[in-house]
A and B are shown apart, each in its own frame.
Chain A
Amino acid sequence: MILQPAIIALLLCAALGFAALALSSPASWQLVRHWQPQSGSRLQLALERRTYLMSVLVRFVLVSQIAALLLFVYNADRMAVQFVGAMCAVGTLQANAWGFPALLAQIALFFAASSWLLLDHADRQARDYPLVRLKFAALLVVLLPLTGTVLALQGLYFGNLRADVITSCCGSLFSADSPSVSGTLAALPPRPAMLAFYFSVLLACAANLHYRLRRRGAWLAGASSALAFVAAIVGIIAFVSLYIYEHPHHHCPFCILQAEHGYYGYALYLPLFAASACGLGVGVLAPFSARPGLRTVMPALCARLAGWAAAGFALFLALATLMIQSSNLILLES
């Protein structure tokens, strides 16, 4: 294991998060089983009090996990100098078999956490807390196993990091000759990839905007946001990165996070992740709009989220287009 502050901080964050959720799981289970808002029993009063603690605790854990995702990627990129063969975060993450699974688990936790936080926010807006059972069931079934997975994968990844390992760089992983998924993405012809990219992100933008204005089509807003996230990542690998590097064969989605490429990656990923989380939130929350107590609150909240999602996707698209326009690379013959 390489002992350094960022790794200690990430492991501390993952361990505290999992410990907090695990310790609160008996209380969550009690809330799921015995929550009776119409009852005035002693147990119900105790449970009502406990929801505050649980809610604050989980919110804190999830917000810290969102910060941890940023630190995880940033640190992987910074640690590349310590591994022979690594040029960016890809080399660090490939230093053993657990790097990429840890990153993917952290991303999954980010989206699960953001959806849960939105669910919690909506629940706290209503007087009778109509989503208590649902959100604590989600905590037990989704968030607890996911934080456990993140902790286990990070422990395995950091615990098995060896400074003398020769790793492979992004050039070999994101190469058209690579037999992996990343190789397939890198080998995508630019024109269809561009069409899919612009279509998916514009669709997400339009669906969210439509929901914002008409308050209809929440499922489309949610599904198109998920699709746009995937298409955007594929597009970044297939062609956006080529324009940023001004190199026809460099497909790495991580090198764009480096200073030598103007930290363009952060400018692209931050609005993309935020917009996807908001768009997914619309899809997750909207089905509960009809519940008593949420009828007035939920549509307004979902509309606000859809507005932010549309704005985030539009910003992402504008930035990507600007980067393509200002590049000296000619990828498509006119």
Chain B
Amino acid sequence: MRTWLNRQRLLIEYTVAALGRRRARSLGLLLTYTAVVFVLASVMLFTHALRQEAARVLAHSPEVVLQHLVAGRHALIPADYLERIPRQRGVREMTPRLWGYFYDPVVQANYTFMATADAPPPGHILIGPAMARARGVAPGNLIAWRAYDGAVHTFTVAGILDAHSELMSADLVLLGEDDFRGFFNYPEGQYTDIAIAVRNPREVRNVATRLSEALPDARLILRDEVLRTYAALFDWRQGIVLAILSGALLAFALLAWDKASGLAAEERREIGILKAIGWETGDVLRMKFWEGALLSGTAFLSGYVLAHVHVFHLHGALFRPVLQGWAVLYPRFALPPEIDPLQVLTLALLTVLPYTVAVLVPCWRAATTDPDAVMRS
């Protein structure tokens, strides 16, 4: 074992020295390789972080949301509708909710208004951070909107919602029930939807099935379904970007093939001399293996680290518009850094595999070169 390790160590030392002698060529390939890993890793890290963030944020949302439908459209829920909902053992709590959208022509964006039980006093509102930035308001400022009935309503900004929740609260306005009904001229005793909390998460689907059987005019939105949709959406966007980038991957494989095929006369002579002094074809192949492994390892590691910095410290500036989506009041949020073994393994297969396939045959050609033929030429 020790002999084998020593042999590999010496081979690595020789390979590093050989790479150093062909510095410009090796560096060019290394930079391209690193760039390929960086781009693919950025896409994967950014999408994974977005999906994780969505899951984290939605963890606190209700398990089931019940909406009332009239002619297939979302309609308001009368208070007595709650009584029609059959009592189920698995249901922990049912809360009627009041919320709606308001278009603000000043910033040309939609806000989400929501009435909450722990809202500020009448005439006061809590607003989301993106909205505060867009309108340039601070706590204590007054803000006026012309409601859908034409009347102007003025509110005092009681506070700005926590920036940690910006992904969900960017465009949110929280206010009391009376203010909400007054602003939207919302009919008394009517609600937007009902949030249903379920005790056992594994029972959610059964609860929803029983509810949809009992209430044919209701639409049930499950948190798991929303999460599943987010996952599918991000996966799809990621897949599309990767499919587009596969062209770059192919180009890189061709470059690697070309570089490995076009051995410089100097390198050819080197292999010839090595074989003349007793190296076997297997040794040359092993040396070439270490060359590929060192190059792949360095490129993979540096590409991945650069992608990590790009996504988690520079907010994925290059891919944000494609992968994240777009909105006037887009939330600012920091993605929590994470290293996922599945991603690392996937990335390794996506990058190292094409490179290795591309250089295998040229390496073999180089390794089986006849020493006398090389030295004579």
Given contacts A3-B240, A5-B346, contact A53 B364 (CB under 8 A): yes
Q: Which residue of B is nearest A83, CB measured?
A: B228
Q: How far is the CB of A90 from chain B (nearest CB, A)?
A: 15
Q: Whole-angstrom distance between the alpha carbons of A83 and B224 in the complex?
A: 10
What sequence of 0s and 1s flags, for each residue 75-99 of chain A, a beta carbon within 8 Å of any chain B beta carbon?
1001001111100000000000000
Bound Cα distance from A78 to B349, whole angstroms: 17
Instruction: Name the one of A3, A12, A74 contacting B342, with C-beta atoms under 8 angstroms.
Output: A74
CB pair A78 B240 closer than 8 Å: no
Q: Are B349's CB and A71's CB within 8 A?
A: yes
Contact partner of B232 (CB less than 8 A), chosen from A9, A60, A70, A163, is A163
Chain A nearest Cβ from B354, distance in angstroms? 8
Q: Which residue of A lies closest to B1 (CB)?
A: A304
* B238 sits at the interface (CB 8 A): yes
Are A71 and B353 interface neighbours, CB within 8 A? no
For window 1-25 of A, CB contacts with B under 8 Å fall at 2-10, 12-13, 16, 20
Which residue of chain A has its CB nearest to the CB of B369? A49
Question: Does A70 lie within 8 Å of B345, measured CB to CB?
Answer: yes
Contact A5 B356, beta carbon cutoff 8 Å: no
Contact B228 A82 (CB under 8 A): yes
B349-A12 in contact (CB<8A) = yes
Question: Does A57 belong to the interface (CB within 8 Å)?
Answer: yes
B297-336, CB < 8 A from A = none
> In the assembly, what is the distance between CA of A16 and CA of B357, in Å?
8
Contact of B228 among A16, A78, A163 (CB under 8 A): A163
**Interface status of B243 (Cβ within 8 A of chain A):** yes
Chain A residue nearest in CB terms to B234: A4
B-side contacts of A10, CB under 8 Å: 349
Q: Is B44 an interface residue (CB 8 A)?
A: yes
Q: What residue in chain B is nearest A2 (Cβ atoms)?
A: B235
A56 touches B231 (CB 8 A): no
Q: How near does chain A come to B230, taking the closest CB pair, in angstroms? A: 10
Closest A residue by C-beta to B363: A56
Min CB gap A264→B, angstroms: 16
Q: Which residues on A sit within 8 Å (CB–CB) of B150?
A: none
A56 with B360, Cβ < 8 A, contacts A3-B235, A74-B342, A75-B342 known:
yes
A8, A20, A52, A82: the one within 8 Å of B350 (CB): A8
A64–B236 Cα distance when bound, in Å, is 25
Residues from chain B with a CB closer than 8 A to the CB of A53 are: 360-361, 364, 368
Interface residues of B in 74-118 (CB under 8 A from A): none
State how many angstroms separate the Cβ of A306 from the closest Cβ of chain B.
Answer: 17
Could you tell me the distance in whole angstroms from the C-beta of A333 to the nearest C-beta in chain B? 29
Tell me, in angstroms, the Cα distance from A123 to B281 when the chains sit together: 15
Number of interface residues of A (CB under 8 A): 34
Number of CB contacts from chain A to chain B under 8 A: 101
Q: Is the CB of A2 within 8 A of B232?
A: yes
Task: State the majority secondary structure of interface residues on A.
Answer: helix
Chain B residue at minimum C-beta to C-beta distance from A23 = B361
| Residue contact B368 to A52, C-beta cutoff 8 Å | yes
Q: A16-B357, A68-B349 are in contact. Are A5 and B364 (CB under 8 A)?
A: no
Chain A residues within an 8 Å CB radius of B236: 2-4
A61 to chain B, nearest CB (A): 9
Q: Which residues of A contact B348 (CB under 8 A)?
A: 67
Shortest CB-to-CB span from A266 to chain B, Å, is 10
Contact with B227, one of A7, A20, A78, A81 (Cβ below 8 angstroms): A81
| B242 A5 Cβ-Cβ under 8 A | yes
Is the pair A82, B353 in contact by a Cβ cutoff of 8 Å?
Answer: no
Contact of B285 among A2, A7, A52, A81 (CB under 8 A): A52
Verify if A133 is at the interface (C-beta below 8 Å from B): no
B350: chain A residues within 8 A (beta carbon): 5, 8-9, 12
**Contact of A9 with B282 in the complex, beta carbons under 8 Å:** no
Are A4 and B342 CB-contacts (below 8 A) given A53-B360, A82-B231? Answer: no
Measured in the bound complex, the distance between the Cα atoms of B350 and A74 in whole Å is: 16
A-side contacts of B363, CB under 8 Å: 56
Please report B residues at the A interface, Cβ cutoff 8 Å.
44, 205, 224-225, 227-228, 231-232, 235-236, 238-240, 242-243, 246, 281-282, 285, 341-343, 345-350, 353-354, 356-357, 360-361, 363-364, 367-368
- A-B pairs with lowest CB-CB distance, top 5: A3-B239, A9-B349, A53-B364, A4-B235, A49-B368
What are 12 A-to-B residue pairs whose CB atoms are below 8 Å? A2-B236, A7-B239, A8-B242, A9-B349, A12-B353, A52-B368, A53-B364, A56-B285, A60-B360, A68-B349, A81-B224, A82-B235
**Given A49-B281, A52-B368, A56-B360, 15 more pairs with CB closer than 8 A:** A3-B239, A3-B242, A5-B238, A5-B346, A7-B239, A8-B243, A9-B347, A12-B349, A52-B367, A56-B285, A60-B360, A78-B342, A81-B228, A84-B224, A124-B282
List the interface of chain A (C-beta within 8 A of B).
Answer: 2-10, 12-13, 16, 20, 49, 52-53, 56-57, 60, 64, 67-68, 70-71, 74-75, 78, 81-85, 124, 163
